[in-house]
Structure 1
Amino acid sequence: MLKSLFSGVSGLQSHQVAMDVESNNIANVNTVGFKYSRANFSDLLAQTKAIATAPQGQLGGKNPVQVGLGSTVSSMTRIFSQGSIQNSDKNTDVAIQGDGFFIISPDGGNTYKYTRAGDFKFDAGGNFVDNNGFIAQGWLRDPVTGKVDSTAPIENINIAPGLTTPAQPTQEVVLKANLNSGAIVESFSPAYQVPTGAPTDPALPAIDGNGNPIESGNVGVMFNESGEAFSLQDGQGVWASFISSTSTSTNSAQGSDTALAADEAETIVFNLDPGSSPATATASYTILAANTAAQNASVTAAAINALTATTGITATIDSSNKIVLTNTNGNSSASHNIDIASVTGANNPFDASEDDTTAYKYSYNSASPTVVAGSNKEFTTIADLRQALENQANSEAGATGIKVIVNDQGKIELSNTDSGSIDLNFKVTGISGSGITENTRFTRNMEALNTVLAAGTTGKAFSQAFNAATHSSSIDIFDSLGSKHTLRMEFRKTALDTTTGSTWSIVITVPEPATIDTIAPTYEKKGSIRFNNDGSLATYNPPNVSFSGNNGSAPDQQVNLSFGTANKFDGMTSFDSRSATSGISQDGYTGGDLVGIRIDQSGTLVGSFSNGRSFGLAQIGMAKFTNNEGLSTEGGNVYVQTANSGDPIIGTAATAGRGFIQSAALEASNVDLSRALTQLIIIQRGFQANGKTITTSDQLLQTLIGLKQ
């Protein structure tokens, strides 16, 4: 009978403990990071009245006869389910979404405690602390490498008040851009200036807009004023003459009326375009002593005109029976020169000095282009073309004052300052024939020069502009003092190879007094960049520049130029699309003061500085345990390690099963009030029922005592 009393008492005690546990849960319904617990009941050792027996023969087995002795609370289970995440207005609040604990220390890292409550703040000393004043543990930024090393031992997170960052000199400039490889471009600049005398006179080289020597540029990859490519092929070009393309014979034709002694066989040999086959054309004819001068002039003209389809030269007769030769400059035959190689016959009215029109033919990569007077010309660069035109102009006109330059607008400029009586009659037509098609864009650019310039005048003739495809990008770089300097990179298309791809020149400049080179001018450095025929980067030079601010900052600052990876499309490219810079950056900055801190999902405390830079100052460490339920609570939302929790596995958030961190948020208690209140009813009913067993047992004892009475 007394057993039932003891059972009821143990039941009351167990339910009282459960009541305490559930009351604690409800009390912490608004405690940040709180994890609720439950009481686990178990029965007490039972009293065995009879043991179990096995079946024997025809007699079946019997179960044991046992009487329970009540209940007890055998354990408490803490439930580490995820609490809801609540946003806050405090950027140093952090919540863990997933498994893991923040690591805090009350003694500078000698001992560790653990918490899910992320209500952190900075104290007066810059320590990152919780509400207990315990300092959060993690990793700090290495001032040498500028990185946060999460493989190092954890330490107190401390960010000194009034933190400043020193200036970081630029070490790398990264450029990603496309340079238009198409036949039509929108970004172009005039060809560089080429003065008279260049390039044969070393004192007068081709010069850029700053007056600095530079390669004058391949005409084959240049563009007209509409941005359309000339795309010159070998052999294409123009015919050009500087004096009238009409030449009258030195003497009148002879005949019976001029006392011609006898019949004479006459020949005149014309030099043809060097690309023609045969290289010469011969007009053979006989003048008769019996003929009049007019008749013999007609015979001469007829013989010459029979070759017009080959030579492009026509002959007519003037009123004094002189032969007038005209260079048609047409495009129907292979040769267009009035270039008389030789004449025979005592009464031939011509001499071998006629040379009215000269071919100027493009050669993509001529090592030594022909630019001397008296022969067809070969040019690669616009400087070659300028020199050839000037040499031939003065040679044909017998002058010295005819000047040809390339001006600052990229136009070929023709002037006649000769003090004599030589009038300049310039005429251009395109070359075609013998498998060569006329390059109409180049011809049109040159045809603008067609004009008559009287000797000694101030008049000038101009071609249309010759332009190069260009693109430029600039960025501010920083020296060791944090001073800014503008680094400008100008790209100019200089060559094209149908097999390998295109080549662009690079001119890198900085404003004076800064320097980037040891060769004058020291404020600029030249190089080139080449692309494959699929538009990918092939190679570039220079890979870096040695920068000196010359303002008290550290000299010879090495700045790497990162234009991409060879044979890839991760940097500079050259496609048939508009030239444009899609990305440019550098890693330098001036000094700055800390103006704010935010925390990212990895737990990194990112500092924002007044210089516009942001970088990680520290990273919050996180611990994971094999058995979270084995942790012991110490109050104040703090847990400590026990023998049954396992050792902490320390690392960064969102790695190795650790949850990620959400900033400006807190994890709410995981207590479910509906569950807790329901549990209260269950506990209350259990407690009442156990009370009934005691009162009932008491009544039975009263009855038993009443038997004696």
Structure 2
Amino acid sequence: MLRSLWSGVSGMQAHQIALDVESNNIANVNTSGFKYARADFSTMVSQTRRAATIPYGGYGGMNDFSIGLGTGIETTTKVFEQGSLQNTDRKGDLALSGKGLFVVSNNGGYSNMYTRDGAFMFDAVGNLVNTSGFIVQGWVRDLSKLNCACGSDSLNRVDSTGPAGNITIDPRLTIPAKKTGVVTGNINLTSGSKTENIGCPSPLDSTSANNYIAGGLDRIYDTTDKQHEIPQDMGVMFNDAGEAMRLQEGQGVWISYQTATTQPISLGGNIQAGAVTTTVTINGQTITWTNDPTANGSSHLLAAQRAINNHKDKTGVEAIIQGNNLILQNKNQLDGDGSNKNIRASGFDNGIFQGGGFGPNNTGSALVTTAFEYRYSKQTTPSLDDGQFRSTEDLRTLMQHDANRVKSFGGDSGAYQAAAAAAGVNPGRIPDNYSGSTYSVKVTLNGTGQFVVNNQDDGIRASAAAAPGTLTNPEFDSLNIFVSAFNDANNTTNVLFKNQMKAMNTGVLVEGGQVTTTAGLRMATFAQTVDIYDSLGNKHQFTMQFQKEGDSEWSFRIIVPEPAELIGSTAQRPNILEGGSVTFGENGELLGVNPSTIQFKPNTGASFPQNIELDFGKGGGFDGLTSTARESQAQKVNGDGYASGVLKDYYFDRTGTMIGNFDNGINLALAQVAVATFANYEGLQESGSNLYAESANSGRATIGAAGTGGRADIEASKLEMSNADLSRGLTQLIVVQRGFQANSKSVTTADQVLNTLLGLKQ
């Protein structure tokens, strides 16, 4: 009887504990990060009267005979299920989404406590603390490594490999300046046939390409200094509309500087009897006509004129009658391969014409050259002998030489050859001032990309016509210039190049300083400026100017404002580094950048030399500099330096990293909150103030960064709500209450039975 009494008492005691547990759950229904507990009932030791038996001797087995002695609370289990997240709009509030607990300490990390309550704030000295004043543990950036020379220090990452400690951020924090060590970015330098990023080629004077243009304009930087002459490949030139001319091997133009005109051809005095057939050759075409002996002399000229002019569309040569003379001329205005250019005539020595009287030596043949071919070639070293050019300087030199040749000797090849022999030089290299005075035709490339032909006054004037069979005068005052197309071996014409050059066509370019110009040549260019910083935080503009030099090659130069200098630049321009090159593969991939490191001298009192790496991607890749048909453009071109700054604000990201926002525009990771995981969360020991401590059954804490090793992510400006369910808790209260009442009935029933037993004695 006493057993049942004490069983009821144990049941009442156990339900009283369960009531305490559920009441605590309900009381903490609004406690951030609270994990509800559950009272786990278990039976007490039973009194065994007879043990169970096995089947034996025909009898079956029998169960044991035991009497339970009541119930008790074996454990209170903490349920670590995820609670709902609540927005708080408060920067210091953090919530864990997943497994883990925040780490806090009140003794500098000597011993730690753990919590799911992320209601944190900064105290007066910059400690990140919870509501009980415990300092949050984690990792703090070592600001002394911000200027790490190896460049391995990341702005958005804190080193979490060391032991965790107090998170303390000085509210007056100022970060030092970081000097720029690396410039990175994605830049495409166009390989397309159309671009809006064009600039003028280097101006060229009529003297050596290694000289300076007096008073010339620096096309890129300083308009007051002299510009060094740089010959540039004509094969990568664009027209002034930004269209690539793409000169191919053998393509070019004819340029005529004067109409090709022969000396007058006079009728001979002894015309043969009977019809006379005459055959001549002009520019490779055989021309035949028959003279009527009964007609007067002019009819002989008319017959010759008619026959020659019938072939004009093939020879380009037209016959003109002046009195009793026949004159051949070619205006050199037809496109072609050269068979219709100039005058190459023979066969005028058959006695019909006076003494054969054609040409200075009465040879009956003539060679008059006033139009010259200019052919683009990458394979052959250009020379004045064959009209081949590659660079702007090659073409300028050829034009100047040929224009002076025509002006000095007309188209008379014989006089030209004689002059060369007298000078003792190769005919292709007769000095431009052979006439004995300063050369009279000057060709330059001006600052706007135009070839300029200047017919200067040399003090020599043309005299009256000389006798037939001789040069009229060794000096031709005016030029009439006409450009026509020169077809390559495939009979194709580069129309864009022809049109650019045709702009200088002029009827009469009189002597005395009159000029004519081509249209403007352009080069594909691209410029990008990035701010760099020295060790004192002074900002400098670092300008990279790219210019297309070949099908797969660009040059670049770098400019910094004075008084800063670039090591390796010239003494005349110490702030400009010339000679950089970038090469690309056939798919537009980067092959190499040279130089890849720039040495910068700020001249502000900051440290120097300051090495700046140009990190524009890996060789063979497309992750930096490329050259595709897309327009030239730059993306994300930045330097890794910055000026000093004062902390203005902060926020936390999903890894628990505190990002500080500074007034210099830099966002810098300052600290990272640690997260601890345990083998058995239910084994943690509650310590009040929403804190847990390690216990023998929880296992040791494993501390690391959020989002790693199975640890929870961190949600900023949120708090985790209690996972206690009020409806479940109230229902459980009813169950516990009924259990308590039922056990109380066991006690009263046992009491009544005892009273009955006591009454038997009476």
Q: Which moved more, 1:205-214 or 1:639-648?
A: 205-214
Aligned to 2:443: 404
Equivalent position to 1:247, from 261, 277, 285: 261
Is residue 554 of structure 2 the alignment partner of residue 504 of structure 1?
yes
Equivalent position to 1:378, from 388, 392, 395: 388
Aligned residue type for 1:555: F
Identity of aligned residues (%): 40
C-alpha contact (below 8 Å) 2:101/2:114 kept by paired residues: yes
Is residue 601 of structure 2 the alignment partner of residue 548 of structure 1?
yes
Q: Deviations over 1:209-251 (max 9, x none)?
A: 14432533222221112222212122221111222x1414155
Q: Deviations over 1:29-83 (max 9, x none)?
A: 1112111111111111111222212222332221111111111111111111111
Structural mapping, 1:355-504, within 5 Å: 355-367=369-381, 369-371=382-384, 375-398=385-408, 400-418=439-457, 419-421=459-461, 422-432=477-487, 435-496=490-551, 502-504=552-554
Aligned to 1:326: 330
Identify if the C-alpha distance between structure 1 residues 35 and 680 changes in structure 2 by more than 3 Å, giving closer, same or farther: same
C-alpha contact (below 8 Å) 1:493/1:503 kept by paired residues: yes
Supply the distance in 1 between the matched residues of 2:242 and 2:620 (Cα, whole angstroms): 28
Aligned to 1:275: none
Identify if the C-alpha distance between structure 1 residues 513 and 285 changes in structure 2 by more than 3 Å, giving closer, same or farther: farther
C-alpha contact (below 8 Å) 1:416/1:453 kept by paired residues: no
Supply the distance in 2 between the matched residues of 1:267 and 1:349 (Cα, whole angstroms): 15
Structural mapping, 1:287-298, within 5 Å: none
SS in 1 for 2:325: coil
Equivalent position to 1:169, from 156, 173, 179: 179
SS in 1 for 2:207: coil
C-alpha contact (below 8 Å) 2:317/2:343 kept by paired residues: no
Aligned to 2:432: none
Identify if the C-alpha distance between structure 1 residues 311 and 522 changes in structure 2 by more than 3 Å, giving closer, same or farther: farther
Supply the distance in 2 between the matched residues of 1:194 and 1:214 (Cα, whole angstroms): 6
C-alpha contact (below 8 Å) 1:89/1:664 kept by paired residues: yes
Aligned to 2:66: 66
Supply the distance in 1 between the matched residues of 2:679 and 2:4 (Cα, whole angstroms): 42
C-alpha contact (below 8 Å) 1:198/1:383 kept by paired residues: no
Give the deviation of 1:125 after TM superposition: 2.1
SS in 1 for 2:160: coil
Supply the distance in 1 between the matched residues of 2:227 and 2:336 (Cα, whole angstroms): 44
- List gaps (5 residues or longer) in structure 1: 273-279, 497-501
Q: Deviations over 1:518-545 (max 9, x none)?
A: 3322212231212222122222222121
Is residue 18 of structure 2 the alignment partner of residue 9 of structure 1?
no
Supply the distance in 1 between the matched residues of 2:346 and 2:23 (Cα, whole angstroms): 126
SS in 2 for 1:385: helix
Supply the distance in 2 between the matched residues of 1:35 and 1:689 (Cα, whole angstroms): 30
Equivalent position to 1:612, from 662, 665, 675: 665
Identify if the C-alpha distance between structure 1 residues 266 and 561 changes in structure 2 by more than 3 Å, giving closer, same or farther: farther
Aligned to 1:83: 83
Aligned residue type for 2:591: A
Give the deviation of 1:574 after TM superposition: 1.7
TM-score (norm 1): 0.90
- List gaps (5 residues or longer) in structure 2: 350-354, 361-365, 409-434, 462-476
Give the deviation of 1:460 after TM superposition: 2.3
Is residue 737 of structure 2 the alignment partner of residue 707 of structure 1?
no
Supply the distance in 1 between the matched residues of 2:43 and 2:232 (Cα, whole angstroms): 99
Equivalent position to 2:192, from 168, 182, 190: 182
Q: Deviations over 1:281-303 (max 9, x none)?
A: 89899999999865775787689
SS in 1 for 2:566: coil
Aligned residue type for 1:370: S
Structural mapping, 1:25-424, within 5 Å: 25-142=25-142, 143-144=144-145, 145=148, 146=153, 148-199=158-209, 202-204=211-213, 208-209=218-219, 210=222, 211-243=226-258, 245-250=259-264, 252-256=266-270, 311-331=315-335, 334-338=338-342, 340=344, 347-351=356-360, 354-367=368-381, 369-371=382-384, 375-398=385-408, 400-418=439-457, 419-421=459-461, 422-424=477-479
C-alpha contact (below 8 Å) 2:212/2:229 kept by paired residues: no
C-alpha contact (below 8 Å) 1:219/1:382 kept by paired residues: yes
Q: Deviations over 1:256-294 (max 9, x none)?
A: 27xx9xxx9999888x7xxxxxxx889899999999865
Supply the distance in 2 between the matched residues of 1:315 and 1:376 (Cα, whole angstroms): 29
C-alpha contact (below 8 Å) 1:486/1:510 kept by paired residues: yes
C-alpha contact (below 8 Å) 1:192/1:207 kept by paired residues: no
TM-score (norm 2): 0.84
Supply the distance in 2 between the matched residues of 1:239 and 1:663 (Cα, whole angstroms): 75
Q: Deviations over 1:287-320 (max 9, x none)?
A: 9999986577578768977986775434343323
Aligned residue type for 2:582: I
Give the deviation of 1:119 after TM superposition: 1.4
Identify if the C-alpha distance between structure 1 residues 11 and 413 changes in structure 2 by more than 3 Å, giving closer, same or farther: same
Aligned to 2:413: none
Give the deviation of 1:389 after TM superposition: 1.1
Aligned residue type for 2:54: A
Supply the distance in 2 between the matched residues of 1:385 and 1:462 (Cα, whole angstroms): 14
Identify if the C-alpha distance between structure 1 residues 635 and 60 changes in structure 2 by more than 3 Å, giving closer, same or farther: same
Aligned to 2:587: 534
Supply the distance in 2 between the matched residues of 1:305 and 1:213 (Cα, whole angstroms): 51
C-alpha contact (below 8 Å) 2:336/2:486 kept by paired residues: no
Identify if the C-alpha distance between structure 1 residues 643 and 662 changes in structure 2 by more than 3 Å, giving closer, same or farther: same
Supply the distance in 2 between the matched residues of 1:135 and 1:491 (Cα, whole angstroms): 54
C-alpha contact (below 8 Å) 1:247/1:324 kept by paired residues: yes
Aligned residue type for 1:107: N
C-alpha contact (below 8 Å) 1:423/1:452 kept by paired residues: no
Q: Deviations over 1:573-596 (max 9, x none)?
A: 222222222221111100000111
Supply the distance in 1 between the matched residues of 2:297 and 2:569 (Cα, whole angstroms): 72
Q: Which moved more, 1:112-121 or 1:322-331?
A: 322-331
Q: Which moved more, 1:673-682 or 1:526-535?
A: 526-535
Root-mean-square deviation (CA, aligned residues, Å) is: 3.0
Supply the distance in 2 between the matched residues of 1:104 and 1:700 (Cα, whole angstroms): 58
Q: Deviations over 1:144-182 (max 9, x none)?
A: 254522111111111123111011111111121222212
Identify if the C-alpha distance between structure 1 residues 197 and 225 changes in structure 2 by more than 3 Å, giving closer, same or farther: same
C-alpha contact (below 8 Å) 2:332/2:341 kept by paired residues: no
Aligned to 2:677: 624
Is residue 705 of structure 2 the alignment partner of residue 652 of structure 1?
yes
C-alpha contact (below 8 Å) 1:104/1:114 kept by paired residues: yes
Aligned to 1:583: 636
Supply the distance in 2 between the matched residues of 1:698 and 1:562 (Cα, whole angstroms): 92
C-alpha contact (below 8 Å) 2:260/2:369 kept by paired residues: no
Is residue 612 of structure 2 the alignment partner of residue 562 of structure 1?
no
C-alpha contact (below 8 Å) 2:250/2:488 kept by paired residues: no
C-alpha contact (below 8 Å) 1:256/1:291 kept by paired residues: no
SS in 2 for 1:256: coil
Aligned residue type for 1:74: E
Give the deviation of 1:343 after TM superposition: 8.9
Supply the distance in 1 between the matched residues of 2:356 and 2:299 (Cα, whole angstroms): 14
Supply the distance in 1 between the matched residues of 2:595 and 2:227 (Cα, whole angstroms): 19
Identify if the C-alpha distance between structure 1 residues 590 and 333 changes in structure 2 by more than 3 Å, giving closer, same or farther: closer
Give the deviation of 1:602 after TM superposition: 0.8
Aligned residue type for 2:613: N
C-alpha contact (below 8 Å) 2:44/2:68 kept by paired residues: yes
Give the deviation of 1:208 after TM superposition: 4.6
